[in-house]
Amino acid sequence: MNIKFVVVGKLKEKYFKQGIEEYAKRLSRFCKFSIVEVPDEKAPESMSQAEMDQVMAAEGERILSKIKDREYVYALAILGKERSSEEFAKELKDLTTYGHSDITFVIGGSLGLTPAVLQRANTQISFGRFTLPHQLMRLVLTEQVYRAFMINEGSPYHK
């Protein structure tokens, strides 16, 4: 199984990198895990809606260029479907059972994801209505993917 994150922007904070590296190491016994960073579009603090749409479109094109047709795609979106850790674990298990061995998670830039990226996604997932820094979301998502594997293994990690 291949798990890939396609994310906008570079991870700058060392402590986030260290946390993700730890979970990536743990994930290596379950899957091939990778993170693909696409450049974020430089944008001024205050923008018109047209400028925001332009920034999102550029980032969206970069994201879509990193996704292959066979990949099952989760887009992280505030309006996506919330799942419990157990539901998420079952979903990942079912995907692999039914032939989806390439699973991709997309985390957009600070302005979100374009309709084109959301349409390409097979499903949208939400971690609640909180707004979290994208760097922190990478760490949270990595941990939740690891937790899903541990749940499916029947490990006490989840308790």
What residue numbers does the annotated binding site for S-adenosyl-L-methionine cover? 76, 108
- Among residues 42, 41, 37, 43, the alpha carbon closest in space to that of 63 is found at 37
Cα atoms in the 13 Å half-sphere on the side-chain side of 49: 0
How far apart, in whole angstroms, are the C-alpha atoms of residue 91 and residue 144?
Answer: 13
Angle in degrees, CA 149, 119, 152, rounded to 5: 10
- Among residues 71, 156, 152, the alpha carbon closest in space to that of 106 is found at 71
Angle in degrees, CA 49, 63, 68, rounded to 5: 145
- Among residues 112, 71, 105, 109, the alpha carbon closest in space to that of 88 is found at 105
- Name the H helices within 46-123: 49-64, 85-97, 115-120
- Binding residue ranges: 76, 108
